[in-house]
Structure 1
């Protein structure tokens, strides 16, 4: 069993790295293609890469990853696509955070963990192009394993057409793995990405899932791969549709205010942010999701 899960961990980590590579390639190609419209006068954006390292509490190696951030591009004002594979022993605070959501057999007796995933947040230059988030991951302890993730759209200027098209791609991707998955995980996203102190959603939703374990690792991994593969077909057509749209100062103001809402959510409620900081991961990588500029009324 141990050898089998070591192989599965390696497969999952390799897949998340492949997903990161395909997305970064597509985003840089979009930068090159944007030769007309707002932002076209700027140099085409490129990802700057930095290896990240997690240090265990005893000072030893605990894994790491690759932080990829593009700043000041023609289309992407800031986008980060991070991939990591980390391991070690969960400190009591992190254990409490996990067990508050679900029972994890044997965690108190053996608090080892392993986690790998890809995390993406894109803040767009043009206020008419929606910001977007993607995350897919696998988590393992000696007594349990599961997949999690999802993607959601965060427009400053909402367009019903964009929302419908984004959701349609996600619905089709989920359908091949179970008729109940899209409605269940759409509803979960609507609940999870709600900002209680503002009494509103942070965007127009998508799908979100956590603790996904049907008992069939291969099927659950295939579903998580399908979510990752659906991201570019769901998002890139919206970028193409809106990236050349002229914008006004009022549009930019609306975008910056919406980014403030996004920052509030990620700092106060987001599970990934909390877990990353609690387990000692590189804080710059954890906080990569924050926008380059934002404002509050």
Structure 2
């Protein structure tokens, strides 16, 4: 049985690995690190990269916080117990080029003084312009990692992502989905140690799947109209994160570090009144694929 110190150590190593790989991919900018402490217990390392060759704004955050369970936490999570530990790594990458995708990852571990615990996380991709072959490639890699641990994970977590990364007031998915899971324990078919290994595998997969998307075409040409569409899609991303994302709302309601929580938002985003894409345009094609339950392995 692993200790909570081991989980924290391995998550820190994942953060280091991802930052190294993303700096190499970008080739220009490096991550700036803020070390922060939480008055009630614990802290974290927030790392942000800006104005790179590829990445306009990207964050790779590690946190390990602990302390008394507040009344707000009890209400939000339905917890029994008095003390908690929450640790994990979260990432959001907003690229400069409209033909490169936004990508998000999160792996996390939660433990109570009662002995209760669970894992959560996943990876999802939000292209400004959907490329079917790139979406297929992304989902194939997710399935390969899931299948190493449990062949039921990919279809189950893919469906979970479709349902979670959905903007109800727009009736559209945030992007092409990915995988998402929460509250996993040994009841889900893996030991506690295997669940940790699975989380680490997903963390180490992130720079690989993101690099594959970028290296397929590192410098596609684009114009002002493409930039405006990119910023419109970023606006949808903001809407989801502030209105629908449970993690963001939980952090804001429980006194989380604001700069780290809002790291997920892009540098610039736009909202155009009643935007209508041109018929048969790449923008219209993208909107047609922002639907649940698409089998991206067969597109």
TM-score, length-scaled by structure 1: 0.88
Shift of residue 219 of structure 1?
A: 1.6
Alignment partner, residue 29 of structure 1: 24
Residue 11 in 1 paired to residue 15 in 2?
Answer: no
Checking the alignment, whether the CA contact within 8 Å between 1:128 and 1:243 is kept in structure 2 is: no
Q: Secondary structure at the match of 1:207?
A: strand
Q: Secondary structure at the match of 1:242?
A: coil
Checking the alignment, whether the CA contact within 8 Å between 2:18 and 2:204 is kept in structure 1 is: no
Q: Distance in 2 between matches of 1:243 and 1:112?
A: 47
Residue 111 in 1 paired to residue 82 in 2?
Answer: yes
Alignment partner, residue 87 of structure 1: 66
Residue 164 in 1 paired to residue 146 in 2?
Answer: no
Shift of residue 207 of structure 1?
A: 0.2
Is there any run of 5+ residues in structure 2 with no aligned partner, and where? 273-299
Alignment partner, residue 278 of structure 2: none
Alignment partner, residue 268 of structure 1: 243
- For residues 147-172 of structure 1, what are the alpha-carbon distances to aligned partners after superposition, in whole Å with 9 as ceiling and x for unaligned? 00001000111100110000000000
Task: Tell me the matched-pair count.
Answer: 268
Checking the alignment, whether the CA contact within 8 Å between 1:134 and 1:151 is kept in structure 2 is: yes
Q: Secondary structure at the match of 2:268?
A: coil
Alignment of 1:67-86 (within 5 A): 67-86=46-65
Q: Distance in 2 between matches of 1:67 and 1:232?
A: 18
Alignment partner, residue 121 of structure 1: 92
Alignment partner, residue 281 of structure 1: 256
Q: Secondary structure at the match of 1:157?
A: coil
- For residues 259-281 of structure 1, what are the alpha-carbon distances to aligned partners after superposition, in whole Å with 9 as ceiling and x for unaligned? 00001111111122122222322
Greater Cα offset, 218-227 or 138-147: 218-227
Q: Distance in 1 between matches of 2:254 and 2:6?
A: 23
Residue 65 in 1 paired to residue 40 in 2?
Answer: no
Q: Distance in 2 between matches of 1:85 and 1:267?
A: 23
Alignment partner, residue 145 of structure 2: 173
Alignment of 1:197-236 (within 5 A): 197-215=169-187, 216-236=191-211
Q: Secondary structure at the match of 1:179?
A: coil
Q: Distance in 2 between matches of 1:239 and 1:178?
A: 29
Is there any run of 5+ residues in structure 1 with no aligned partner, and where? 33-43, 57-61
Checking the alignment, whether the CA contact within 8 Å between 1:90 and 1:279 is kept in structure 2 is: no
Checking the alignment, whether the CA contact within 8 Å between 1:169 and 1:233 is kept in structure 2 is: no
1:244 counterpart (219, 222, 228): 219
Q: Distance in 2 between matches of 1:147 and 1:28?
A: 28
Alpha-carbon RMSD: 1.2
TM-score, length-scaled by structure 2: 0.87
Checking the alignment, whether the CA contact within 8 Å between 1:78 and 1:123 is kept in structure 2 is: yes
